[in-house]
Structure 1
Amino acid sequence: MTVIAQVSDIHVRPRGLLYQNLVDSNAMFARAVEALNRLDPAPQLVLITGDLTDEGLPEEYEMLRELLAPLRHTYAVMPGNHDDRGRLREAFGDQPWLPREGELHFGIDVGAVRVLALDTTVPGLHHGELSPVSLAWLERELAANAHGRVVIAMHHPPFVTGIPYLDLYGLRDVGAFIELVSRYANIDRIVAGHVHRSMQTRIGSVPVLTCPSTTTQIALRLEPDAEPASYLEPPAFMLHRWGAAHTGSAVSHLCYIGHFEGPLPFA
């Protein structure tokens, strides 16, 4: 059995400061860590798919390391548009999966699954792009693992959400990525963050899933002139599980963070 927990868009702030001056994102991530520690069976990897911090400040990365310290599972972090590559690299320089230079792409073997973490960030900007260097790295990894199960992880999801104020900052020029993905039959799924909501679609036969935030969830407003908004909906993470025989695709579970009434004596 292979189990990967995906957390995203945690927006850690310096000690004592609130996300958007309204929400205690640090406390909410601490509760997420507690929930992850209660998982049974335990995940072999906790993957955080970007927006680790809100402003990419050194003190935010220091706070993040402190908040991660109680986590009992192996973890890996990816950059989002609110992160700073250099400061992230400095803060996690002791982690073996982290590239020492350039874009922060990396691959990790988790049980029978190869996770390819693809850096979609553009320094100083909020939209996402995949440079020729990024696509070349991905193609090399896909070719080298053509006979194994692969998951592609990225911060910006490779599709248009339909929420106008989100799509301004989406992943641009996805055609080459889609063409590349279409040439490999062993990609189990693509997972992403960025949108602070759970969304599902497909690229060809490949499922594409986004992970909610551990802080606020972005409002589902589809009208063309919609104003940006967020809600304090229940925070959540994703749990991706492959069966013991490693046959077939994963089952991905949306897991809410919090204490809810129950268990009730029926199913």
Structure 2
Amino acid sequence: MSVIAQISDIHVRPRGRRYQDLVDSNAMFAQAVATLNRLDPAPDFVLISGDLTDEGRPDEYAMLRELLAPLRLPYAVMPGNHDHRRFLREAFADHAWLPREGELHFGIDAGAIRLLALDSTVPGFHHGELSPASLDWLERELVEHARRRVMIALHHPPFATGIPYLDLYGMTNVKPLRDLVARHANVDRIVAGHVHRSMHARLGNVPVLTCPSTTTQIALRLQPDADPASYMEPPAFMLHRWSDDDRDGESSAVSHLCYIGQFDGPLPFA
């Protein structure tokens, strides 16, 4: 069995500052870390899929390292559109998985799963894009690990959400990624963040899932002229689980949406 926990869009701020001057994103992330530490069985790995900070400032990354210190699980972070590559790299210089130059792609073994994190950020902008070099890196990794199940992680999801103010800052060049993934049968799923909501789609035949934020959730407004808005809905994370004990003797995979917080229960029925 392999289990990867995914949290996203944590928007850490300097000490004493609030996200959008309203929400204590640092306290909410601390609660997420405490929740991850209580998981039983413990995940093999934790992935934080971008927007680690709100403004990409060195003092925000210092705060992030402080908030991550209690996490008892192995983890990796990847950049989002609110992050700064150089400052992120400097803050995590002691982590061997992080590239020392260029785009922040990396591959990590998490149990039986090969996790491939692909940097989709465009410095100075909020939309996502994959350079030819990024796609070449991904192709090499998929060929090298052709006998492994692979989960690809992006910050920007490779699909249109239908929420107009989100799609202004979506991924611009999805087709090359779709064509590449179609050539490799070992891609099990693609996960992303960015949209502060749980969404499910497909890229060709591959499932794509997005992870909610540990802070605010973006409003589901589908009207073409909708104004941007968010809600203080329950924060959540994703738990991706692979098992070889399916009823039919085949391996199985499932992704769970897990809310963060205190709720009534457990109740004596299911």
What's the secondary structure of 1:107's corresponding residue?
strand
The 5 Å alignment of 1:1-267 reads 1-244=1-244, 247-267=250-270
**Cα contact 2:148–2:186 (8 A) shared by 1:** yes
Query: Which whole-Å CA distance do the structure 2 matches of 1:248 and 1:139 have between them?
Result: 25
Which amino acid in the other structure matches residue 260 of structure 2?
Answer: I
How many Å apart are 1:123 and its aligned residue? 0.4
Query: Which whole-Å CA distance do the structure 1 matches of 2:173 and 2:268 have between them?
Result: 50
**Cα contact 1:191–1:210 (8 A) shared by 2:** yes
How many Å apart are 1:245 and its aligned residue? 5.0
Runs (4+) off by over 6 Å: none
Query: Which whole-Å CA distance do the structure 2 matches of 1:173 and 1:9 have between them?
Result: 22
Query: Which whole-Å CA distance do the structure 2 matches of 1:111 and 1:24 have between them?
Result: 34
**Cα contact 2:53–2:60 (8 A) shared by 1:** yes
Query: Which whole-Å CA distance do the structure 2 matches of 1:80 and 1:132 have between them?
Result: 19
- Count of equivalent residues: 267
> Where does structure 1 lack aligned partners over 5 or more consecutive residues?
none
**Cα contact 1:2–1:244 (8 A) shared by 2:** no
**Cα contact 1:188–1:249 (8 A) shared by 2:** no
Query: Which whole-Å CA distance do the structure 2 matches of 1:89 and 1:103 have between them?
Result: 10
Which amino acid in the other structure matches residue 261 of structure 1?
Answer: D
Q: TM-score, normalised by structure 2?
A: 0.97
Q: TM-score, normalised by structure 1?
A: 0.99
**Cα contact 1:118–1:153 (8 A) shared by 2:** yes
How many Å apart are 1:248 and its aligned residue? 2.9
Q: Which moved more, 1:115-124 or 1:239-248?
A: 239-248
Per-residue CA deviation, residues 225-260 of structure 1 (Å, 9 max, x unaligned), is 000000000000000011145953421000000000
Which amino acid in the other structure matches residue 251 of structure 2?
Answer: G
Query: Which whole-Å CA distance do the structure 2 matches of 1:209 and 1:158 have between them?
Result: 10
Which amino acid in the other structure matches residue 216 of structure 1?
Answer: T
Q: Structure 1 vs Structure 2: percent identity of aligned residues? A: 76
Query: Which whole-Å CA distance do the structure 1 matches of 2:227 and 2:162 have between them?
Result: 13
How many Å apart are 1:114 and its aligned residue? 0.3
**Cα contact 2:245–2:252 (8 A) shared by 1:** no
> Where does structure 2 lack aligned partners over 5 or more consecutive residues?
none
